[in-house]
Structure 1
């Protein structure tokens, strides 16, 4: 997290003190670095220079409008998984012609919404979805561009909840069924077969599984071409991991290195089979663009000595940051103001009434009541996965741009949470 560092013992985002941010906006609060966001996106964009390629940010990682706006201004496309996310893209200034619509359960209304905005492509994941989309497009007098999300049965070697490319996963069309499914799609009158899609999982630290999946897609594209089904784009998905700082964890593959190997493989294939004719390449990165751009600030409420463990009770909870409870994810914890003195071993836990409400376990901290801690690398799957469990308002969000702090999402209060509810009279 190169844009988060200590200056005179105080953790800063760019040139802004996080102690000042906590004092101004309270806690829990997510804080993002604009410079880090731009740098991470540009690592993809620069590696694609001179090529027919599109970086579609997987906005499920973090869908704040300010983040979408910054990325849209830099030419990003967007990978969406709901009609609501499409509306967010539009509100954030995104171009619908650069939107790909993924997901296994698209509704009729979502299909109509996406077709009305002429999105780039639907990533279709089943034959029933093909038929539904064909009917919806026909009823609107339109043709829907589609790619099939093919499940290559490649082990991403990641947490089972975020592995999506195996036979047992709900996502995509099985590789053995893909050819017949493409034939079915090509026969439907209101669909245009445009490409192929694959996404095998998330938080991949090694690109070998991604390159293995690419080889399977190339094999299928060649087979389809021999039958006259010509694809115009190849969507290799996302999934590259980030460094969460866990001891012993492998270093993540660099974006430029991965894209260099991927393009080299694609170029060799196109030169051999298609006289060098290019094919558009699409990427769907999420975590690797936004994960290390943000931290979650939280205040120590109590230090509690237990019979077997010590607990650092903070005001953030599993409803604010679900990853540890859901995935047993390791998150770095740092004091915003460095403190001299004795340190103890703590579990960092929240006030939610669940034993699973923890943010970090077995951490050596020198902390006192009232101190502010930063949960590191919290820019992805933080606010987007948060909830209002225990009638807790979701956190505020702040974007740092050099020495300026911009409130990009206000903190929810209890009245916001029950404003849509009604009493029976």
Structure 2
């Protein structure tokens, strides 16, 4: 990020250059150097809308109005960019606000996007119910099938190949490097929604993606107490274009939301370790259980995307989906019977959640090519004592 948008003493450029910057170090220090004025070790919440100028056009640190830039938001944006190994990070009021800004910045009416055939329901709704009316065409294709993605491309029209990996809620895995090659051949951008993995487990930009999307509400925030989104661009020029649209469209993260998200990011690494460890224990319980017909988890050797996940992920994440014997009604009953797993939408918090995607997060895809199975249950595995989580699922499936 340019110095014009960074508060003095609060930029990655001020960090010591003679030490290695591992992930956990960046999560705690990137964009978050002690405050130059007071020495505060946590970035202050700049709860302010406007800034005194030193003469007409004389901006202190580049700040004039908090829709355009705010020091707390700058700290978050710099940190997220560092974690994703990108050139520019941008923070938004929600993940869908980030997606909308990106698509309107890089597409125009008449353009076309290839989307996953198992995309998040909110993303599908954005394409099918909002951007479709704007004139943006879209075609669903299996992101894990290179031939299907190529077949969905409209030469001269396709501007973006959109990917979720792992996908929500079917936990599909796509080869990011392979899709990047396809996107380059088509003259399109590869956009990867990295929400399920988080940058701790996977860095799509290092594999050739052009833009990473996050719902920072999820693993980055990590405590179910803030809603937010982020974009990270690999190219500085594209980052500037996205920043222009962020300011022009205005759906930015507020300073307190930015501060809460930064607080969550500081423990992202240790939380993800526990999420992954707990999820693997739960998968062992579900796999082969008499009441479960299929477990969807990239860590299983039988998962169709397992070999790709081994190559591009550090571990397999805290999200688990499974299908139950007895159909949709039985799946709903399992969701209703848990006591420790909370029946709720969203994911990535320290507490474990359970939901029925077909009736909850993905209801908007009902009747479409992206409709999810009615017998599907999705878990967001938290960081509680794993034996308690196992016991809860055991009794719910009994």
Q: TM-score, normalised by structure 2?
A: 0.29
More strand by share: 1
Q: Say which one has the larger Rg.
A: 1
Q: TM-score, normalised by structure 1?
A: 0.28
More helix by share: 2
Larger relative CO (CA 8 A, sep 6+): 1 or 2? 1
